[in-house]
Amino acid sequence: MTETGTSPQIVILCSDIFFLSKITGVATQLEFSFSSANSCKQALKYLSNELRQLILIDMNLPHLDWELLASILNPDSHLVSIAFGPHVDTEQFKKAKIAGCSQILPRSQFSAQLPQLMHAALERKP
């Protein structure tokens, strides 16, 4: 849902249609532009070096390319990353940390704090 020629503020890397709907609903309500992707390669098309952006990463995404994700998550860029997943999946939490995600949250906490997380990441006050 981005306008032609503009980069979205939020890139959503998620294939769970129900959870994706929740995220896009919150983004729409808060008037953030967004795009969704099913792979890191597809997400790259939406990223910009000139715009502060937030990438939301569902750690349950099938075939998540952690190596490519790590190359995307440059700590010096304007990109903020939040990975989320089941709290019991400690292996995915480790991979997200190694990849350099800004924040790694259990899915329940991510869901409960979604509006605040979006505002904080994009430096807008709620």
- Give the pLDDT confidence of 23-80 residue by residue, as tens digits: 999 999 999 999 999 999 999 999 988 888 999 999 999 889 999 999 988 766 789 9
- Across the beta sheet with 103-106, what order do the strands follow? 34-37, 10-13, 53-58, 79-85, 103-106
> Would strands 34-37 and 53-58 be described as parallel, antiparallel, or unpaired?
unpaired
Tokens 């010096």 -> residue: 76
HSE-CB of 34 using CA atoms within 13 angstroms: 25
- The per-residue pLDDT of the chain, averaged, comes to 88
Strand blocks (E) in the chain:
10-13, 34-37, 53-58, 79-85, 103-106
Residue 3 confidence (pLDDT): 42
Residue 4 confidence (pLDDT): 38
CB atoms within 10 A of CB 21: 11
